[in-house]
């Protein structure tokens, strides 16, 4: 089940992901900070095979076994869009097209659920994707960074999120904050920060 939005391969490095509560994802054109929601484990290692720089799953489960899980992702701006809403819509359209062209093809639909606000006042949008052959769905919290669309994906094993999962995505999105000072942690594309 751990597939979905287009893959972005990143090198990851962190010693003990389960001990971290805050982290950030960075690259040459992006840097954003977040905090793991209460009741969720943040892990920068388990999503490496699918190109997810940071993944989240309910405490006591794992990335492989959790029925619902979340991950962070980054996408470059598409040609043409000028404002933030259009940049998000272009990313949504890109995901729908990716699945339409997949083998076998999948006809997904997407709808905007609500507006979001990040910890630094950043405006975002929550979108819902349905139509996966498995009957699952995804909810995605999008924010527009300086040069990229940054987002958190909630993968659901069923067509409706459980209340804890839906709250987890909203809580994660509420901690989103653009950063200009992402210091690389060795050669990694994401860092987990231990907090006391």
CATH code of the domain covering residue 21: 3.40.1000.10
Separation between Cα atoms, residue 102 and residue 122, nearest integer Å: 33
- Highest mean pLDDT, choosing among 12-21, 26-35, 120-129, 160-169: 120-129
Query: Does 41 reside within a domain?
Result: yes
Query: Does 172 reside within a domain?
Result: yes
The string of pLDDT tens digits covering residues 95-111 is: 999 999 988 888 899 99
Separation between Cα atoms, residue 77 and residue 88, nearest integer Å: 9
List 55's β-bridge partners, or say none. 43, 71
pTM of the model: 0.84
Query: Does 7 reside within a domain?
Result: no
Query: Does 9 reside within a domain?
Result: no
Query: Does 46 reside within a domain?
Result: yes
The string of pLDDT tens digits covering residues 24-61 is: 998 888 999 999 999 999 998 899 888 898 999 999 99
Query: Does 133 reside within a domain?
Result: yes
151 lies in which domain range?
17-193
| Residue 99 CB neighbours (<10 A) | 18
Query: Does 12 reside within a domain?
Result: no
Domain count, the chain: 1
* Contact call for residues 139 and 166 (beta carbons, < 8 A): yes
- The values of phi and psi at residue 193, to 5°, are -110, 125
Query: Does 10 reside within a domain?
Result: no
């Amino acid at each position: 089940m751990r597939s979905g939005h287009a893959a972005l391969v990143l090198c990851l490095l962190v010693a003990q992901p389960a001990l971290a509560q805050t982290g950030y994802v960075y690259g040459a054109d992006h840097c954003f900070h977040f905090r793991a929601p209460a009741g969720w484990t943040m892990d920068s290692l388990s999503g490496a095979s699918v190109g997810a720089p940071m993944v989240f799953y309910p405490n006591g489960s794992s990335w492989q076994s959790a029925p619902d899980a979340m991950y962070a992702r980054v996408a470059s701006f598409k040609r043409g869009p000028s404002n933030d809403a259009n940049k998000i819509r272009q990313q949504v359209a890109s995901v729908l097209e990716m699945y339409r062209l997949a083998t076998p093809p999948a006809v997904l639909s997407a709808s905007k659920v609500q507006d979001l606000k990040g910890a630094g006042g950043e405006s975002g949008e929550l979108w819902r994707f349905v139509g996966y052959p498995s009957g699952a769905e995804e909810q995605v919290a999008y924010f527009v960074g300086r040069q990229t669309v940054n987002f958190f994906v909630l993968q659901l094993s069923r067509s409706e999120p459980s209340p804890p999962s839906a709250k987890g995505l909203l809580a994660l999105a509420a901690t989103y904050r653009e950063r200009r000072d992402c210091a690389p942690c060795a050669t990694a594309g994401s860092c987990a920060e231990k907090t006391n």
